[in-house]
Copies of this chain bind each other. A is one copy, B any other.
Amino acid sequence: MKIIRSPQSMAAWSERLRREGLTIGFVPTMGALHDGHRALIRAARLQCDALVVSIFVNPTQFGPTEDLAKYPRPIAADRTLCREEGVDVCFEPTADTMYPEGFQTMVTVPEIAQRWEGVARPHHFAGVATVVTKLFGIVRPHLALFGQKDYQQAMAVKRLVTDLNLGVTIDVRPTIREQDGLAMSSRNRYLSPENRQAATILYQALQAGRRAIQAGRRHASMVERIMRQTVEQEPAALIEYFALCDPASLAPLTHITGRVLLLGAIKIGTVRLLDNVVVPASHQVRRAAK
């Protein structure tokens, strides 16, 4: 496995492979790799000739009070995982080469960024959209993979790739979970043992919401209340938001008439946790007309 730090060298490597007619798969990460990343890497490995994983804790997607400084950076373990999974290049740029003096260009997805995580984290999606555009410019992948856990992020990336004609196929893969349902996330390692236990409440709430829809509930406010009530049983958890949305536009729904996305964010101690489930229309009971 090659470790490449310079964007120029990375771009040259990709250009050479593309000229040979090879396809490039790409998994952009902030490191602290877990089985969710591993699933993305394996899916990419199956679909492409060559495989690039980037490890870059992107400062521009963190807010001023967020966890940039203490974000985990276990680079040796990350490289080991990449080697195990047959990654060809581990791309590890530095903040200085990604954002040199004079840097100013921003990519924004204003409609997506105005909702949910965008409200909680005002500059987050501009940071994500900009760094992903940069990484796609450098790596020039045919295919890039993202996890469904960060649903809104995956939507933002799909949107900017379409809007800016970047010619990258985006593959969004199912969330990988711990045995007890907690969605895998690099931030889970911040949780104390008791809080780790409490954290399962988020997925339990989403499951309660899903069951309510499957049982025939059609009012979003009712399903939202069921999810909130589930979390309220866990004293360590603070609700940030629960929402029922259109899975394509992320617009909130008042009535459930088809596929629906259940989004949730809670805080346990200082750790923010996100999760979501999509309930397909086919899983929903249709009540007979009166």
* B-binding residues in A (CB < 8 A): 7, 11, 15, 18-19, 21, 102-112, 129-130, 133-135, 137-138, 140, 159-160, 163-167
Contacts and interface: CB of A to CB of B under 8 A. Distances in A.
A60 to B, nearest CB: 11
B18 A104 contact: no
A38 to B, nearest CB: 27
Contacts of A134: 163-165
If over half of A's interface residues share one DSSP class (helix, strand or loop), that class is named, otherwise mixed; here it is: helix
Contacts of A18: 18-19
* Leading 9 A-B pairs by shortest Cβ distance: A105-B163, A137-B165, A105-B160, A104-B111, A138-B165, A134-B165, A137-B166, A106-B108, A133-B164
23 contacts: A11-B167, A18-B18, A18-B19, A19-B19, A19-B21, A103-B163, A104-B109, A104-B110, A104-B111, A104-B112, A105-B108, A105-B163, A106-B107, A106-B108, A107-B164, A134-B163, A134-B164, A137-B164, A137-B165, A137-B166, A137-B167, A138-B165, A140-B167
